[in-house]
Amino acid sequence: ALSDKRLQELRAERKPLDNEGEFYRGKPLPPKLRAQIEANETAVEAQKEATATQQAELERVNRIYDTELARLQRLWAGAA
């Protein structure tokens, strides 16, 4: 949930940058604006990577516990 919230914040930060970029359509962006846009894009990508890493870790942990649960259920049922 925190990752999704951060992505929403980054999108909200991007809107004014895009609006300002509209004034320079067909012209090169000023270095400061270009740097802000690139920083925002980098932050979005980093957040997406962090979200993917968290999801992979969650799946890994769930797989471990599902395997352990299956083993315990066999033991509880009296299997050798």
For 4-29, give the DSSP string. Answer: HHHHHHHHHHHHHHHHHHHTTTTSPP
Quick check: 7 and 48 in contact, CB under 8 A?
A: yes
Distances (CA, A) of 57 to 4, 36, 54: 17, 31, 5
Tell me the mean pLDDT per 10 residues along the chain, length 80.
91 94 90 96 96 96 97 85
Q: What is the pLDDT of residue 69?
A: 96
Number of residues written out for the chain: 80
* Model confidence pTM above 0.85: no
Q: How far is CA 17 from the centre of its chain?
A: 21
The closest alpha carbon to 32, from 75, 40, 64, belongs to 40
pLDDT of residue 26: 87
